[in-house]
Structure 1
Amino acid sequence: MIRSLYTAVSGLITMEAKQDVVTNNLANANTVGFKSDNLVMKKFDDVLIENYDKISGGKNVRNLIGSLSMGSKIDETLTDFTQGSIQSTDKDTDFAIDGPGFFAVQRSTGGNNQVFYTRDGHFRVSMQGYLVNDSGDRVLGVNSNTGALEPIFVGNGKISSDPNNNLLIDEKVAYRFNISDFNDYKALRKVGDNLYQGENPVQGTGVTKQKSLERSNVNIINEMVNMMTTMRSFETSQKIVQSIDETLGKAANEVGTVR
């Protein structure tokens, strides 16, 4: 009885985590460049049940009853990096990547500059004249004159781009977008603000498109189905826990009562 209670509770914990993932996907269905997550579950290793009630030759001997599943557990959370649809806009500082790759942005924290990666190309020009994302992180590009990787400075110039990922300021090539990619996307880690953290980037083959944004790849219909399925599974496990609790209560308070 106690084992079945642990099994049902493990299901509750797993379903709660699944619900959090689905809710986060739905909340970001309209977030530019967002990639949906999926919670992967697996079961605990089965345990062997045995007792020594069987008597042979006047001695209690081992008696194998069978195996028992101990429920489910969280294996890992996988991100779906499938490209979302590209939507046209009328803003010069909006960029989308058609194909594999990420924009590289620089964030200054505590005097240190950290590089993060994103598919969100909803950029703007800061008060200091740099091309930044919604969080104020500076977009990185390769300076066409020096070849150095640095924050893209636009100033008051008019920006445009070409099919070679070059960024033109006042119709002159000034930078090339630093489109980074990774051989193993499982090594990428979400850090919030629609950013990823990763190591050992390689040159991405994606092509930037100006006046365009990549929509989220969240499938709302599938997520709604997942939400309803998860809620029903949670309610089922909850009812099992209540039933076991009532049975244990009767066993403790009623069975064997002397009247």
Structure 2
Amino acid sequence: MTDVIQSLDAAFGRDVKHINNIAHNVANINTPGFQHRVSFDAFQPDQTDSQYAEVVSNLLGGIRQTHRSLDIAILDEGYFLLERNGQQFLSKDGRLHLDPQGYLSNASGARVVTDQGLLRTDAANLTVRPSGEIVIDGKVSATLRIVNGERLQLADSGLLLSSNIYEVKNIRLQNSALNVSTVNPTSETVRMMEVSRHLQSVQKAAAAYDQMLQNGINEIGKK
């Protein structure tokens, strides 16, 4: 009996996590550079119940034109390499700006890492070439580090963590443009319907099992 209750409880918990993940994806449908998470039930050979798991999608989203010169889109694979409090992160959000201290940063507040380290300037004339070169007052000062990573995990503020970061070759960027979110509203809606139906079936199974226990208790009480 305990195994049945635990299995139903675990299934209910996994479905709730799936729904939360879908809701998080949908909430970021308009967030530039957002990479949606794909959740699934993973089966382990040494376990009777499946476990909730999720991965960050590596799909390439579309490109949206803007009218801001420091909006930078990555046309191929790769992410901007960022740093915050000594820790490195990845992001496709190319809404770049100079923070109050003069460091080149993205919308999350994390600072952009270049081949020269963090870039700090008070110059007003700063542009980024399609090759990633950063031009300040007509001179190349540094080059953006565009990287990729393995086993990406979502951190806060849309930033990603990776256990293995490596450089991307043949960088192609576009000025006055942004990578759009990879969230597909139709797919998320279908997924929500599937999970909701499964959750309802788990609830019905739990109710039926509870009724069976009650009937058994009543029969024992009659003896």
Pick the aligned partner of 2:112 from 139, 150, 160.
Answer: 139
CA contact under 8 A between 2:63 and 2:180: conserved in structure 1? yes
For residue 43 of structure 1, report the CA deviation from its aligned partner: 4.9
Pick the aligned partner of 2:77 from 97, 100, 111.
Answer: 100
Q: What does 1:100-139 align with in structure 2 at a 5 Å threshold?
A: 100-108=77-85, 113-139=86-112
Match of 1:83 in 2: 60
Q: What amino acid is the match of 2:101?
A: Q
Q: What amino acid is the match of 1:195?
A: L
- Using the aligned pairs only, state the percent identity: 25
Larger Rg: 1
Match of 1:54 in 2: none
CA contact under 8 A between 1:39 and 1:74: conserved in structure 2? no
For residue 45 of structure 1, report the CA deviation from its aligned partner: 6.3
Pick the aligned partner of 2:209 from 228, 237, 244.
Answer: 244
Q: What whole-Å deviation, never above 9, does each CA across 1:214-246 have from its counterpart, x for those lacking one?
A: 011011110011111111110111011011101
**Greater helix percent: which structure?**
2
Question: Structure 1: 5+ residue runs without aligned partners?
Answer: 48-69, 143-148
Q: Distance in 2 between matches of 1:256 and 1:198?
A: 59
Deviates more, 1:237-246 or 1:123-132: 123-132
Q: What whole-Å deviation, never above 9, does each CA across 1:181-200 have from its counterpart, x for those lacking one?
A: 23xx22x2222111122244
Q: For the structure 1 residues 159 and 107, does the alpha-carbon distance in structure 2 shift closer, same or farther, using more than 3 Å as the test?
A: same
**Greater strand percent: which structure?**
1
Q: Distance in 2 between matches of 1:181 and 1:44?
A: 28
Q: What whole-Å deviation, never above 9, does each CA across 1:86-119 have from its counterpart, x for those lacking one?
A: 11111122111111111111212xxxx2222211
Q: What amino acid is the match of 2:65?
A: S
Q: What amino acid is the match of 2:29?
A: A
Return the TM-score normalized by structure 2: 0.89
Q: Distance in 1 between matches of 2:70 and 2:168?
A: 20
Question: Structure 2: 5+ residue runs without aligned partners?
Answer: none
Q: What does 1:194-205 align with in structure 2 at a 5 Å threshold?
A: 194-205=158-169
Match of 1:63 in 2: none
Q: Distance in 2 between matches of 1:2 and 1:76?
A: 24
Q: Distance in 2 between matches of 1:24 and 1:6?
A: 27
The answer to whether the aligner puts 1:178 opposite 2:148 as a matched pair is no
Q: Distance in 1 between matches of 2:190 and 2:104?
A: 40
